[in-house]
Amino acid sequence: MTTSSSNSHEGYARYPSLAGRVVLITGGATGIGASFVEHFAAQGARVAFFDIDASAGQALADTLGQRHNLRHKPLFLACDLTDIAALRAAIGDVKAALGPIEVLVNNAANDRRHTLAEVTPESFDAGVAVNLRHQLFAVQAVAEDMKAARAGSIINLGSISWMLKQADLPVYTMSKSAVQGLTRGLAKDLGRYGIRVNSLVPGWVMTEKQRRLWLTDEGRENIKRGQCIDAELLPEDLARMALFLAADDSRMITAQEMVVDGGWA
């Protein structure tokens, strides 16, 4: 399997409509979310991001500000997105600091493995809270400003796990399949105001966490058999699709599931 990874943005698309645009990314301290933060900031957007990992989040904001000589250093706020009151307060802080939010990337999730027998009512509620519930309430908190602007892009992160009938993730796969329904319903509700809502659906993205916790020789063989393209799927592959969905270039794309998985699902 070939690997292609680079933090360079040279040779890839620039989106003038993203310059100065206020972008909020949830779960942005590490993994796919961190790539979202980097790529939007490199486009000149005013990026805010949330994460429960305060040290990693602040380190990313500081590092990006120093590395890229950004016009707008990313704003990091520590936030537990399962606490809806805290989520609403943090979104209010972003608005106060940067202005109305024009792009929302609902990225935060946790794909912790769990069997059906292990699920309790408490773990079920916790799984839905971290993988689905905050997406709706984040949209609710930004929608009025987007309505006033008659514009906006909301990107909800899904997963191909449920499409592949992946085992040992019942609450996660249930939550991620529900993202598709949430996206399509919201697209109809908000489209009349010029707001676009799409799902960005990753395959198995080779983040540091995935390599450390889940990737085995068997997993590599599954990827090789499943994907049409024999290369590792990387966080930046998702970030570049998110840029397109956030930019004016995709102004008539809404209610869609944009699958980035190397052709697996």
Q: Is the pLDDT of residue 2 over 80?
A: no
pLDDT at 4: 40
Which of 165-174, 203-212, 221-230 is predicted least confidently?
203-212
Q: Is the pLDDT of residue 5 over 70?
A: no
In terms of pLDDT, which residue wins out, 213 or 120? 120
Q: How far is CA 118 from CA 123, 132, 167, 170, 213, in A?
A: 9, 20, 13, 10, 19
Residues 52-68, mean pLDDT to the nearest whole number: 92
User: Which residues are known catalytic residues?
Assistant: 172
Tokens, residue 181: 């329904």
Q: Is the pLDDT of residue 3 over 60?
A: no
Q: State the Cα–Cα distance between residues 183 and 43, nearest whole angstrom.
A: 25
Q: State the Cα–Cα distance between residues 207 and 110, nearest whole angstrom.
A: 13
**H/E element holding 261?**
none
Residues 17-37, mean pLDDT to the nearest whole number: 98
pLDDT at 216: 85
Quick: pLDDT tens for 128-138: 999 999 999 99
Q: Cβ(15)–Cβ(250) under 8 Å?
A: no
Residues 229-244, mean pLDDT to the nearest whole number: 97
Q: Is the pLDDT of residue 67 over 90?
A: no
Identify the bridge partners of residue 258 per DSSP, sorted by sequence position: 200
pTM for the full model? 0.94
pLDDT at 6: 46
Quick: pLDDT tens for 99-137: 999 999 999 999 999 999 999 999 999 999 999 999 999
Q: Burial code of 240-265, b = ≥16 C-beta within 10 A, e = fewer?
A: ebbbbbbbeebeeebbbbbbbbbebb
pLDDT at 45: 97
CATH number of 17-260, picked from 1.10.10.60, 3.40.50.720, 2.60.120.260, 3.40.430.10? 3.40.50.720
Q: State the Cα–Cα distance between residues 173 and 160, nearest whole angstrom.
A: 9
pLDDT at 208: 86
Residue 74 per-residue DSSP state: P
Q: How far is CA 114 from CA 110, 126, 152, 220, 265, in A?
A: 11, 12, 36, 21, 22
Residues 159-186, mean pLDDT to the nearest whole number: 97
Q: How far is CA 243 from CA 16, 41, 51, 132, 140, in A?
A: 11, 10, 20, 22, 22
Give which of 31, 100, 96, 81 is closest to 60, Cα–Cα.
31
Which of 4-18, 50-64, 158-172 is predicted least confidently?
4-18
pLDDT at 68: 64
In terms of pLDDT, which residue wins out, 165 or 3? 165
